[in-house]
């Protein structure tokens, strides 16, 4: 996979659903167990639906996935067939190993076939948990490298000089006189982004402002977060920061907003308006003051780290 992406700076997204189907077929099919009276073997991955993505931005690789898995098994009880399915409704990036849910169905279920269910619960499901828990790390290991350029492959003298300046601190001259370095202002532009969530405006408003919920969908505690007018915030390890300017309960959130790599003290104005509909809420996101050339980066980050992450974390709708 060849990308023009100096210093691994820009957003890169790789869809891994097809790979995941092969992965789970290889890892799960063939798992088997026996007892004194019963035997079970997983024979087929029947279905895998959902989203599996590996993303890279500014040299950091993460995975976001949320899938449903259906497996066929074949079993016997005292020589009589007892087949069926095992459904795992949610395998997600934030699911812990002991949180997976397993729905075991037996075709033509009756009391005589129950030993198969007991065997699955006792011996098959613990092995499935272990295999499922390994999926996230294996996904990153397999697909993380081919969405990044090694530093040695960078052929741009300009971007190489940026890399050197970022990795090596600049010497500071000793002087008694305070000096100020001025930088040219950005040329800026405005930008809009609309998204629809399967929840109420009140619930969504709370999701953007409640510290506990913010920790969940950003996948890390905020560096700072004071959700009152004039309060400061810093999310994603400080990569996004600003101040809350105006809060209208369940209606809108207005804030100053900046990415860490923008010029010092440059902030865009970001306003999120919540439009309540029938069983869903539309957010109208409007930026003013985005540096020209940063439109795609800003949009991509917001769609992935805000919109998609909120939907996956709280089940607020399909992720496209």
In this structure, the answer to whether residues 124 and 32 fall within a common structural domain is yes
Burial pattern 209-219, b for ≥16 Cβ within 10 A else e, equals beeebbebbbe
279: phi > 0 → left, psi -120 to 50 → alpha, else beta; which? left
What DSSP element (H or E) covers 83?
Answer: none
Instruction: Look at residues 147, 180, 197 and tell me which one is the last residue of a structural domain.
Output: 147
Best CA proximity match to 37, nearest among 77, 73, 80: 77
Helix axes 17-28, 135-143, angle to 10 degrees: 130
Q: What is the pLDDT of residue 59?
A: 56
In this structure, the answer to whether residues 120 and 214 fall within a common structural domain is no
Tell me, yes or no, whether 31 lies in a domain.
Answer: yes
202: domain range?
A: 188-314
Q: In angstroms, rounded to a whole number, what is the distance separating the alpha carbons of residues 195 and 306?
A: 11
Q: What is the pLDDT of residue 153?
A: 40
Please provide the size of the chain in residues.
Answer: 320
CB-count exposure of residue 188 (10 Å: 0-12, 13-18, 19+):
middle
In this structure, the answer to whether residues 141 and 218 fall within a common structural domain is no
Tell me, yes or no, whether 25 lies in a domain.
Answer: yes
In this structure, the answer to whether residues 199 and 297 fall within a common structural domain is yes
In this structure, the answer to whether residues 107 and 198 fall within a common structural domain is no
Instruction: Look at residues 116, 147, 178 and tell me which one is the last residue of a structural domain.
Output: 147
Distances (CA, A) of 40 to 82, 85, 86: 9, 11, 12
Look up the CATH number of the domain holding residue 269.
3.30.530.20
Note the pLDDT tens digit of each residue in 18-53: 999 999 999 999 999 999 999 999 999 999 998 888
Tell me, yes or no, whether 320 lies in a domain.
Answer: no
242: phi > 0 → left, psi -120 to 50 → alpha, else beta; which? left
In this structure, the answer to whether residues 14 and 143 fall within a common structural domain is yes
Would you state the structure tokens that stand for residue 14, as one six-digit string? 């790789």
Note the pLDDT tens digit of each residue in 94-137: 888 889 999 999 999 898 999 999 999 999 999 999 999 999 88
Q: What is the pLDDT of residue 56?
A: 64
pLDDT at residue 11 is higher than 80: no
Tell me, yes or no, whether 133 lies in a domain.
Answer: yes
In this structure, the answer to whether residues 142 and 194 fall within a common structural domain is no
Which DSSP string corresponds to 214-271? HHHHHTS--SEE--STT-EEEEGGGTEEEEEEEEETTTEEEEEEEETTSPTT--EEEE
In this structure, the answer to whether residues 303 and 207 fall within a common structural domain is yes
Q: pTM for the complete prediction?
A: 0.47
In this structure, the answer to whether residues 143 and 199 fall within a common structural domain is no
Q: Assign 7 a pLDDT band (cuts: 50, 70, 90).
A: very low
Total domains present in the chain:
2
Note the pLDDT tens digit of each residue in 151-194: 444 333 333 333 333 333 333 333 333 333 333 578 888 999 99
Tell me, yes or no, whether 233 lies in a domain.
Answer: yes
* 144 φ/ψ angles, rounded to the nearest 5 degrees: -70, -40
In this structure, the answer to whether residues 243 and 134 fall within a common structural domain is no
Would you state the structure tokens that stand for residue 242, as one six-digit string? 């600003």
- Which residues, including other chains, have CB under 8 Å from residue 48's CB and lie 6 or more apart? 17, 20, 21, 24, 67, 68, 69, 70
Tell me, yes or no, whether 48 lies in a domain.
Answer: yes
Tell me, yes or no, whether 301 lies in a domain.
Answer: yes
In this structure, the answer to whether residues 119 and 212 fall within a common structural domain is no
Instruction: Look at residues 147, 165, 198 and tell me which one is the last residue of a structural domain.
Output: 147
In this structure, the answer to whether residues 140 and 34 fall within a common structural domain is yes
Tell me, yes or no, whether 178 lies in a domain.
Answer: no
């Amino acid at each position: 996979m060849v990308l023009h992406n100096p210093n691994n700076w820009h957003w890169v997204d790789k869809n891994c659903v097809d790979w995941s189907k092969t992965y789970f077929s290889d890892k799960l099919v063939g798992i088997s167990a026996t007892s004194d009276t019963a035997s079970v073997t997983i024979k087929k991955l029947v279905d895998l639906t959902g989203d599996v993505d590996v993303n890279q931005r500014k040299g950091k690789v993460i995975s976001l996935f949320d899938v449903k898995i259906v497996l066929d098994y074949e079993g016997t009880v005292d020589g009589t067939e007892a087949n069926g399915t095992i459904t795992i409704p949610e395998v997600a990036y934030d699911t812990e190993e002991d949180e997976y849910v397993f729905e075991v169905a037996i075709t033509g279920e009756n009391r005589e076939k129950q030993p198969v269910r007991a065997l699955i619960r006792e011996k098959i499901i613990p092995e499935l948990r272990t295999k499922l828990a390994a999926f996230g790390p294996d996904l990153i290991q397999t697909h993380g490298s081919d969405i990044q350029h090694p530093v040695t492959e960078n052929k741009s003298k300009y971007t190489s000089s940026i890399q050197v300046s970022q990795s090596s601190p600049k010497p500071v001259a000793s002087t008694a006189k305070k000096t100020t370095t001025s930088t040219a202002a950005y040329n800026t532009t405005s930008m809009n982004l609309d998204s629809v969530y399967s929840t109420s405006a009140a619930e969504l408003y709370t999701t953007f402002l409640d510290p506990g919920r913010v920790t969940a969908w950003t996948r890390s505690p905020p560096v700072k977060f004071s959700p009152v007018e004039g309060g400061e915030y810093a999310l994603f390890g400080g990569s996004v920061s600003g101040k809350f300017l105006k809060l209208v309960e369940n209606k809108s959130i207005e804030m100053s907003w900046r990415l860490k790599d923008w010029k010092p003290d440059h902030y865009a104005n970001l306003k999120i308006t919540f439009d309540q509909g029938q069983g869903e809420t539309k957010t109208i996101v409007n930026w003013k003051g985005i540096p020209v050339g940063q439109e795609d980066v800003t949009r991509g980050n917001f769609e992935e780290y805000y919109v998609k992450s909120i939907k996956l974390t709280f089940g607020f709708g399909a992720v496209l």
